[in-house]
Amino acid sequence: MNILRGEDYRAGVALGYDLGRPVSDDPSHLNGLGNISAAPFIKLYESYVISKQFPLDLRADVRRIVGGAGGLLGDLQAFMPLPGSSKTLFMLAGPSITFSDHQYTQKVFGVSDTQAAASGYRGYNAHGGLTAAGLGFSATHFITHGWLINADVAVNRLLGSASDSPITQSSFQGIVELTTAYQW
């Protein structure tokens, strides 16, 4: 929900759902690490377009996961419009970076002593900070004047503790996010 909105900016709040990490998704790899339960999150976001002459869209968000992995994550992104965009379809592409706090990074990428004994992985204390960098594509389609559908696709490279974790199989990951919204 946009709380603040102007010609070149918007800011608001959103609710989402983190799917967690069930051991059943990859039992041979996650055995002994325990499930990370699915959990809701609340997201505060902001977007600012520099100008019509230079339509760089700067975005920032912070997400607080309530339960599950817990902790905070944040993104900084810079997008430029792509050819083919129109009044009802906006397509953007550009770089992004993701930060996470210690609580989130340890839960998702760390290995406690108990988990190490149960899984065979070495113990690993993950720290917060810069977690990923990547490139993304975003497309927003206005179905009606108020309803919109948004799709975000990104390829990220894990960095720092996330990349160095003994449970990380690949430093590269793909992300797909679909949302719908109504704006007044």
Express each pLDDT in 102-136 by its tens digit: 999 999 999 999 999 999 999 999 999 999 999 99
Kindly give the parts of the chain with pLDDT less than 50.
none
Q: What is the pLDDT of residue 108?
A: 97
Exposure b/e, 20-41, CB count within 10 A at least 16 = b: bbebeeeeeebeebbebeebeb
Tell me which residue of 37, 47, 36, 38 sits closest to 14, measured CA to CA: 47
What pLDDT score does 181 carry?
83
pLDDT at 143: 92
Give pLDDT, residue 130: 97
pLDDT of residue 52: 84
Q: Which pTM was predicted?
A: 0.84
Whole-angstrom distance, CA of residue 161 vs CA of residue 128: 8
Q: What number of helices (H) and strands (E) belong to the chain?
A: 4, 9
Q: What is the predicted pLDDT for the residue at 146?
A: 84
Q: Which pLDDT belongs to residue 182?
A: 82
pLDDT score of 137: 94
pLDDT attached to residue 183? 72
pLDDT value of residue 1:
84
- CA dist 141 and 50 (Å) reads 21
Token code pair at residue 164? 């160095």
